[in-house]
Amino acid sequence: MSEARPLQEPVPSLRNLPGDQPAPGSQPPRRRRRFTVDALFADTSPRAVGTRELATAKEIRLDRIEPDPDQPRRSYDEERLEELAASIRLEGVLQPIAVRYDPGRDRYVIIHGERRWRAAQLAGLESIPAIVREVGDEQRLIQQLMENILREDLNALDRAAALRRLKRQMGDAPWERVAEAVGIKRSRLFQLLGTEKLPEPVQAEIRAGRLSEKQSRPLHGLPERAQAALAELIVEDGLEQREIERLARALRANPALAQEDVESLREQLRRMRATLAASQVRRGRLAEPAARPGPPQPVSAAGPAMAVLEQVRVLGETLTWLDAACLAGDERARLATELRGLAQQIRRTLRALED
């Protein structure tokens, strides 16, 4: 008995129909390329090679942007702001600002670029290019500090306040970690923090940009009146760093000077500066190389005599400023020995002059 056959033959698969088999040696059929809507509008010109569009780049109306209340910078130079505004009127904003979106207030808060935003307002712009970022509070403050510290745009007091705020946000981390977070040396960090210990008149000069943090370093450790008087002299007379350091040393050697009022002390410092400058000039002349030999010239005692007289006057003023009570024991002994030797030389010279 033959085996029962199925009632219906299996239908061949549509993929395996005899007519659809590729001929031996022929290429398989290519799939149709699919395009997305974005691809249809993509820039395919040569200038687009190696670039990509940023979804976070926007042109934002100025009235939808507001400054960060925790921004380290607290002061802006109005003159430089006007100069930037004039440049923006001619060329536009060349560098986008960075902002974050605050959904609770429906505003964009500036991370960095507040100066450009202010200048754009002065220039009469309605909007400004911006990059929208999502950053945490700690990282945001670090970015703001990095932008200003590395560019030296922030005065020392604003930087010190921002560093203290960052320390709190980092859970009262050690200063070493704070310095590492913003990429500055520990010694530099403490130099910035030291400006907060200066009296308010000196801090005002630093905020105004008339006194630099470096110029203020010799002031540390001086009495408050001496700090204020020396700071005023630096601003008024444009003292060089070496002059500031010499005057600060003279004030430390004679603390009694600091008991005077600031105006009188400033004038005394001005006279001290002139005396020290004259002394430096004379030392330089004595150190100059001898002139080229020439015909014999008549020797005059007027030149050496005037130099000695000036040196005697400088020494007299220096001894007037000196407060022996402030000297350490070894310093007093050494100075006493030198002055005794000088006194003997003066007596010999006096005898020679009187003969």
pLDDT, tens only, 160-190: 888 888 888 788 899 999 888 888 889 999 9
Q: What is the pLDDT of residue 288?
A: 47
Tell me the average pLDDT across 13-25. 54
pLDDT, tens digit, 9 for 90 and up, residues 63-85: 999 998 877 676 777 888 899 99
Q: What is the pLDDT of residue 120?
A: 95
Q: What is the pLDDT of residue 293?
A: 45
Using CA atoms, how far residue 174 sits from 3, 168, 169, 171, 179, in Å, is 92, 10, 12, 9, 9
pLDDT, tens digit, 9 for 90 and up, residues 143-157: 766 665 555 567 889
pLDDT band at 349 (very low <50, low <70, confident <90, very high): confident
Long-range contact pairs involving 263-269 (C-beta distance under 8 Å, separation at least 24): 263/229, 265/225, 265/226, 265/229, 266/229, 266/230, 266/232, 266/233, 269/229, 269/230, 269/233
Q: What is the pLDDT of residue 301?
A: 44
Q: What is the pLDDT of residue 205?
A: 94
Q: What is the pLDDT of residue 124?
A: 94
User: Does the pLDDT of residue 15 top 80, yes or no?
Assistant: no
pLDDT, tens digit, 9 for 90 and up, residues 242-255: 999 989 988 888 88
pTM: 0.53
Mean pLDDT of the chain, nearest integer: 78
Tell me the average pLDDT across 1-14. 51
Domain boundaries, the chain: 55-134, 137-197, 198-285
Q: What is the pLDDT of residue 18?
A: 52
pLDDT, tens digit, 9 for 90 and up, residues 195-237: 999 999 999 999 988 999 999 999 999 999 999 999 999 999 9
Angle at 56 between CA 50 and CA 61, to 5 degrees: 125
Q: Tell me, which fold does domain 55-134 have in CATH?
A: 3.90.1530
Residues 192/178, Cβ–Cβ less than 8 Å: no
Helix, coil or strand: residue 47:
helix
Catalytic residue of the set 59, 78, 114, 240: 114
In terms of average pLDDT, the best of 60-64, 77-81, 295-299, 346-350 is 60-64
User: Does the pLDDT of residue 95 top 50, yes or no?
Assistant: yes
Q: What is the pLDDT of residue 72?
A: 67
pLDDT band at 121 (very low <50, low <70, confident <90, very high): very high
* Entry field: residues in the chain: 355
CATH class name, domain 137-197: mainly alpha
Q: What is the pLDDT of residue 300?
A: 42
Q: What is the pLDDT of residue 211?
A: 94
**66: annotated active-site residue:** no
Distance from first CA to last CA of the chain, Å, rounded?
165
Q: What is the pLDDT of residue 287?
A: 44
Among residues of the chain, what percentage have pLDDT more than 70?
Answer: 69
User: Does the pLDDT of residue 262 top 80, yes or no?
Assistant: yes
User: Does the pLDDT of residue 128 top 90, yes or no?
Assistant: yes
Using CA atoms, how far residue 69 sits from 49, 72, 74, 127, 141, in Å, is 41, 9, 10, 21, 11
Which residues, at least 6 apart from 167, have a Cβ–Cβ distance to it below 8 Å?
173, 175, 178
Q: What is the pLDDT of residue 296?
A: 44
Q: Where are the beta strands (DSSP E) in 150-279?
A: none
Q: What does DSSP say about strands 57-61 and 97-102: parallel, antiparallel, or unpaired?
A: unpaired
Tell me the average pLDDT across 33-58. 67
pLDDT band at 20 (very low <50, low <70, confident <90, very high): low
- Greater confidence (293 vs 26) lies with 26
Q: Give the range among 44-48, 87-91, 151-155, 199-203 with minimum mean pLDDT.
A: 151-155
Q: What is the H or E stretch that residue 290 is in?
A: none
User: Does the pLDDT of residue 297 top 50, yes or no?
Assistant: no
- Greater confidence (277 vs 292) lies with 277
